[in-house]
Chains A and B, each alone.
Chain A
């Protein structure tokens, strides 16, 4: 099976959220994802990268976020990795309306969970967070929808 791998490391700047999202969207379009699913993929990536910048790095732009994408005719897997502050309680962070910032909705993980078929979060305090998200393309796989 033909596998495509992309790896992009970028500064923790807000404008790079757009770049990461566009990259994934372009790849998804090449894989013939329907427009609604492309939209969902974009939201999931946007949330993961925003989380890394806002929470992982407290908006400090002098850090790096890496996005690793692996795609095939069966699935698209996206890893978003930062070396920021980490999440103390992943389970709690993944619940609706949990946010450390009052003006945010705490919906980031909910969107990732709803829009992707699988979501794994690995995090170590003061060391970083890795979010692994998978979307299956053949639709025969059990989905969280």
Chain B
């Protein structure tokens, strides 16, 4: 059964909802991701990797308003952490205003970016998930 944890006390404006299904961690990012909350996010993800055996992380960015290199650094860092463990990262639904910074960061070269409709077919972990 999927476990659901809702974060509402996350620092400042950023809120995050997460859901772990088997070894897949779904993170629904909201608000602004910068040096205010990048480290909290990093610690939260690393705990799930180490303690709960998470090997796939799906970042859902639909409601992300802002991201800078502090936030992108967390994603890259998790990629580096998961790669030797055989894990992977997916990024879904990047809002149009964040395309350019994503492109410049180089992340699309190493991480899979997917729009929502395609991603459902590709990811077997998502079978039976209610939207």
Contacts and interface: CB of A to CB of B under 8 A. Distances in A.
B36 A107 contact: no
B70 interface: yes
A103 interface: yes
Interface residues of B, number: 22
A121 to B, nearest CB: 16
B69 A104 contact: yes
Closest 7 CB pairs of A and B: A107-B69, A46-B68, A104-B73, A103-B77, A14-B36, A105-B73, A50-B35
B73 A111 contact: no
Interface of A: 14-15, 17-18, 21, 35-36, 39-40, 42-43, 46-47, 50, 53-54, 102-108, 110-111, 114
Interface of B: 12-13, 32, 34-36, 42, 66, 68-70, 72-74, 76-77, 97-98, 100-101, 104-105
Given A14-B36, A17-B36, A105-B76, A50 B97 contact: no
